[in-house]
Amino acid sequence: MEQADIDVVSIEGLTIETIIGVYDWEKEKKQQLVLDIQMSWDNQRAATTDDIDDALDYALVSERVSAWVAEKPRQLIETVAEGVATLILNEFGVQNVEVRVAKPGAVPNAKNVAVTVRRSVFDSPFG
């Protein structure tokens, strides 16, 4: 998301409890995922009007993403990252999004494992 003249709205450390994993024991109890999301958004109008209706409502994005992630079990954090990116592109009018999904404690002796996807409406078959 390093493009000149583009604003970025970020959500960092969005923590969601969900069923995630491929092993039997992982399918029986919720685990924590931590998401970092960066979205391209032109903030000029919102900065001028000081009106939430002209801004990217990051609280609403957080609520929607949290609900989507928690709604059903998934096996892979790759699936979560791709799904969150698609949801944001389709529902919130951003042109570019970067989603990092971390799964703390997934590997012994590591803080976490993570997957990062970068997607654009220009790359999407629906864009």
Catalytic residue ranges: 103
Cα dihedral sign for 39, 40, 41, 47? positive
The β-bridge partners of 116 are: 100
Cβ neighbours around 80 below 10 Å, total: 24
54 in Cβ contact with 45 (< 8 Å): yes
30 in Cβ contact with 18 (< 8 Å): yes
